[in-house]
Structure 1
């Protein structure tokens, strides 16, 4: 655990702190052009990150007011995509904050073995305020990542909902004088993989009935539900086209281009060829299922023979 002392706040703004210390925190700051090439105005967060933060808050030590952790993800020219995270043990008091930096380093090394493409993009903290200690913790992550982001998540629902905000730091003040750090908010968007979408849809179904329990649906039910949604979308498109042709609605050129692209992407195949391909895939699936059942039976028989 590494302990550091807090700096005095500058004014009453909770998102800016400073110090008259002769050796204040020096957060690494890229030039404006370089910042835009690394960090754009958008932070994309995956649902698994939010679930992990909420879980770490529920499992926090007794007496802990908040939890912090490392954000992992990827960086492109215009955005930061946060795909994973892990909590980091720490202790806070009015006088100092102690962060287990060795634990954070070891956890990151383990994550690198599983997902080499994920790098440290910043850190998170539960709550909706940026405190004096946040500047000190941010200084540590500034050594681990270039211009890291700071994510806050109101797990206590003090504002009535779980507000999620992202910030990036920048130095403020007169050169040679008192130096402070200002946290500038960034735009936040939510992104998910197809596998994450299943969990999000399941949570949406149980939102209005929190006391009920829903399990994951079978693959066949998921395919049926997806086919039903596609039919509903096609019905909406057909209604729009009919209204445009009848003059009930003004044509939109951008929508027309999207529809033309959609039509061009549909493979040109006859009904007979499609049926042949479908039957071939079904036969392959049945063969794989048969071989799997046969292998399972052979394993069970072998176990009984070994026992005898």
Structure 2
């Protein structure tokens, strides 16, 4: 099965979690809508379902099935192409009673999809897992399926504007930018290790040869530039020198600006000190003069 999840679904799940369970350890549950054509499944929409479970015993849970039926009918009226294709839940791992919830949704779809989203994950990878139910020697088990993030042109424009607005209000310092680049390179390194392990297992005969995977790996290596090319090395060095020059100039500008602020503060401090020194003698003279002035009553008596 080829599963494609649209960005609006992920944003809706995050919004559902932030509204209901962001301050608690509870999880949220909802329904997935989309269209299935042959072996391809497009998840294009979703909605929340009231759900609660016992904090001490998660085998005790409640899901509002009546609300789910009413919402499904309303969505059918709005968009007849979107059908119920599965359900989602938040959390870091599968729970024992997830299969019971999954069986409840089999009345609406013959082979529903289960999306598990780890909202609080700190992994650089997308914290999303997709599962379907399969029989294993008479026992129902969840089987992991691959997925990709698909989007329409309108969705791509909306996500681009959303990210642009977020970046306008979030100015990352240089250390944070470097940390993100290091995290991305670390994720790339782990992916390359997985590819290397797969190739070693194929060479050892522990895994069957998959021509499609080999073609994808070959395409990746064809895209990579030749690191021994002199022109590429020269271009990279020039780009790095330009980057270091801009950093050096910006550091000089910050230093000069700091010096100007220091000088302005010193000048302002000296001017304030001189003003205070000029005001003190005037106040003393005025006080002494007021003490020598005779009172009107005393003058009249002496007269």
TM-score normalized by structure 1? 0.51
1:23-71 per-position Cα deviation (integer Å, ceiling 9, x unaligned): xxxxxxxxxxxxxxxxx2x211111111100000001156451101000
Choose which of 27, 36, 51 in structure 2 pairs with 1:75.
36
Is residue 131 of structure 2 the alignment partner of residue 170 of structure 1?
no
1:89 alignment counterpart:
50
Alignment CA distance shift 1:128-1:79 (3 Å)? farther
Which aligned pairs between 1:237-248 and structure 2 lie closer than 5 A? Answer: none
The answer on whether the counterparts of 1:71 and 1:85 sit within 8 Å (CA) in structure 2 is: yes
2:275 alignment counterpart:
none
Q: Which has the higher contact order (CA 8 A, sep 6+)?
A: 1
Matches of 1:98 and 1:57 in 2, distance apart?
Answer: 17
The answer on whether the counterparts of 1:71 and 1:121 sit within 8 Å (CA) in structure 2 is: yes
The answer on whether the counterparts of 1:71 and 1:86 sit within 8 Å (CA) in structure 2 is: yes
1:87-113 per-position Cα deviation (integer Å, ceiling 9, x unaligned): 100111214111000000000000000
1:108 alignment counterpart:
72
Matches of 1:202 and 1:147 in 2, distance apart?
Answer: 35
Runs of 4+ aligned structure 1 residues displaced above 6 Å come to: none
Q: Which moved more, 1:156-165 or 1:43-52?
A: 156-165
1:149 alignment counterpart:
113
Larger radius of gyration: 2
Matches of 1:158 and 1:65 in 2, distance apart?
Answer: 18
Which aligned pairs between 1:275-286 and structure 2 lie closer than 5 A? Answer: none
Where structure 2 has 5 or more consecutive residues not aligned to the other structure, the ranges are 172-303
1:182 alignment counterpart:
141
CA drift of 1:207 comes to 5.9
TM-score normalized by structure 2? 0.52
What is the root-mean-square deviation of aligned Cα atoms in Å? Answer: 1.9
Choose which of 193, 197, 203 in structure 1 pairs with 2:156.
197
Choose which of 12, 33, 47 in structure 2 pairs with 1:52.
12
The count of residues paired between Structure 1 and Structure 2 equals 167
Where structure 1 has 5 or more consecutive residues not aligned to the other structure, the ranges are 1-39, 174-178, 213-308
1:199-244 per-position Cα deviation (integer Å, ceiling 9, x unaligned): 22124435656536xxxxxxxxxxxxxxxxxxxxxxxxxxxxxxxx
